[in-house]
Amino acid sequence: MQSQASSASASAALGGEDAGNLADFRDILLRLTFAAHGWDDRLDGVLERLQDELRNRDSLPDLKHHAEVLYRALMRAEERRPARKPGQILAKALGKLELPAPIQAEWREMMDQGYAARDEIEALEVLERCATLLQEALNSAPAKKPSKKPGLIGSLFGSGSRQEEDSGQFLKAVQHRLLELMGSLCPPPQLEDKLEELKERVAKALAAEQIPSVLEQINLLIQEIRGKVERERLELEKFLGQLTERLTHIESALEASDSSTNEAFENRKRLDEEIEEQTRDMETQAREATDLASLKTVVQQRVDTIRKHMEEHQQVEQRLLEKKEQEMAELMERLQAMEEETETLRSQVQEERRQAFTDALTGLPNRFAYQERLEQEYERWKRYGSPLSILILDVDHFKRINDTYGHQAGDKALRIIARELSLAIRKTDFIGRYGGEEIVVLLPETDAKAALQAAEKLRKRVEECGFHFREKRVTITVSCGVSEYREGDTPESAFERADQALYEAKKNGRNRCEVK
């Protein structure tokens, strides 16, 4: 209240030029609040309250109080910004464009589709259509004198002395969002170089007329990624089709084997019946024989007949045996081929899983791998009650590294940090890239005190590592939040405490660890 009264009295004492300057200052503050709007829901609430006070008061509000609230909200917003969907980010930026009336309805519909996009692939499909529509609008626009033509950026920000500054800020925001969007892609190894080249191009100075071309290249890269996924799907379908065909052949071979077995059984049965019949006839004729010569003749005839049946039986048995051996050889060959193809598929699936659970930039396990490991460790902690701790590490002033040395330097810094941290943890620990410049570590069998010691060890290792970019030393440090799982904790509540501890570490000067 004292600060507000002072502001009011100071405002009353002002006159003429000073009052105009105060109005300009209020206008600048109001514009800045709109510039930051949309980063974070909590930050938006703080900004809206400040906007109301700036609009509805003749004097300035309590700026010291608002500065403290804004600082905390901005810090939290900066930590949460990567969580926004790429479609929402770009749709919000492009939705500000003022386009000719005939295409405004179609443009708004595209922005709605972009905002609703579930992933970067769907977002880029929408953005490709937006780029085409935007190009058509620019081509169909009436020609104007070069000195008065506002262009794409002029259409967005209007004309005037501040146009160049505002357009530069817009292009920088688009550049940042495109890099953030490309950073969320997980290309196969053979496309990683192409993605890095595209990121390097976008990281350089980006002109307004380059945006459609860049979007087209990003879309082509996405199409390549999708094409590879589609080819892998078709290969899998082909393999499954071949597997089904081979299983059908095996089933047919087994049925044929059963048929051969049945045929052999029937052949033996017929032989037995023939021998039995010949034996009965021989007995009958022997009883009826009147002399030895006729008996001998009868016996000889029956023996010859039995021998003939035996030979026929052996021939049939030999044929069936050879047929069965051939069928079994074919069956074993098919089974071996199936085993080889199954092993190939198993290796391919394992490799695809490794890529799906690995961060392409750092080589660390990614957020999906973290969620999977967390479920295992959380269930083990609930069952056995052994201590479990979590660390969240965040690179200090990472945006400054990107802005000062370029995104290549930022990428190199992340790779070095990932390597150093991986070498410093135990085999039973888990380390993964959570997102952006955040790295998460799970420490089984570790209480808060030991976890803080481990965090300090990791922090010092990063601080002492030698990082050079283009023969220039760049100092990199990390801040860390530590938390041990407590009775009644969920994975979310423990993570939130560690995140709060990280915020405290940032607030208290960075390059430090805090436990909560």
Q: Are residues 374 and 348 in the same domain?
A: no
Number of alpha carbons in the 13 Å side-chain half-sphere of residue 421: 34
What's the start-to-end Cα distance of the chain, in Å? 34
Evaluate whether residue 195 is within a structural domain: no
Q: Are residues 375 and 351 in the same domain?
A: no
338 compared with 138, residue with greater pLDDT: 338
Q: pLDDT digits over 223-257, tens only? A: 887 777 777 767 767 766 766 776 676 666 666 66
Q: Are residues 338 and 373 in the same domain?
A: no
Evaluate whether residue 431 is within a structural domain: yes
Sorted by sequence, the CB contacts under 8 Å of residue 279 that are 6+ apart come out as 302
Q: Are residues 326 and 400 in the same domain?
A: no
Range of the domain at 251: 239-355
103 compared with 398, residue with greater pLDDT: 398
202 compared with 89, residue with greater pLDDT: 202
Among the ranges given (77-91, 171-185, 194-208), the one the predictor scored with the smallest mean pLDDT = 77-91
Identify the pLDDT of residue 63. 63
Q: Tell me the average pLDDT across 161-184.
A: 67
In which band, very low, low, confident or very high, does the pLDDT at 279 lie, cut at 50, 70 and 90?
confident
Q: Are residues 474 and 393 in the same domain?
A: yes
Q: Are residues 470 and 380 in the same domain?
A: yes
Q: Which of 32, 60, 82 is the last residue of a domain?
A: 82
Q: Are strands 388-395 and 478-484 parallel, antiparallel or unpaired?
A: antiparallel
Q: Answer whether 480's CB lies under 8 Å from 424's CB.
A: no
Q: Which of 82, 98, 127 is the last residue of a domain?
A: 82
User: With 90 as the cut, is the pLDDT of residue 131 above it?
Assistant: no
Q: Are residues 338 and 243 in the same domain?
A: yes
Evaluate whether residue 336 is within a structural domain: yes
Evaluate whether residue 411 is within a structural domain: yes
Active site (annotated) includes residue 48: no
Q: Which of 82, 113, 141 is the last residue of a domain?
A: 82
Evaluate whether residue 234 is within a structural domain: no
Q: Tell me the average pLDDT across 293-298.
A: 72
Q: pLDDT digits over 406-458, tens only? A: 888 888 899 999 999 999 999 999 999 988 889 999 999 999 999 999 999 99
Residue spans of beta strands (DSSP E) within 357-456: 388-395, 430-435, 438-444
Q: Are residues 328 and 350 in the same domain?
A: yes
User: With 50 as the cut, is the pLDDT of residue 390 above it?
Assistant: yes
Q: Are residues 444 and 389 in the same domain?
A: yes
Angle at 197 (CA atoms; ends 195, 201), nearest 5 degrees: 115
DSSP per-residue letters across 120-149: HHHHHHHHHHHHHHHHHHHHHSPP--TTT-
CATH of the domain at 390: 3.30.70.270
Among the ranges given (273-287, 480-494, 498-512), the one the predictor scored with the smallest mean pLDDT = 273-287
Domain count, the chain: 3
Catalytic residue among 79, 377, 437, 438: 437
Q: Are residues 406 and 331 in the same domain?
A: no
Q: Are residues 279 and 324 in the same domain?
A: yes
Q: Tell me the average pLDDT across 372-394.
A: 95
When the pLDDT of each residue in the chain is averaged and rounded to a whole number, the result is: 75
Q: Are residues 345 and 465 in the same domain?
A: no
Evaluate whether residue 287 is within a structural domain: yes
Q: Which residue type is seen at 191?
A: L
Evaluate whether residue 6 is within a structural domain: yes
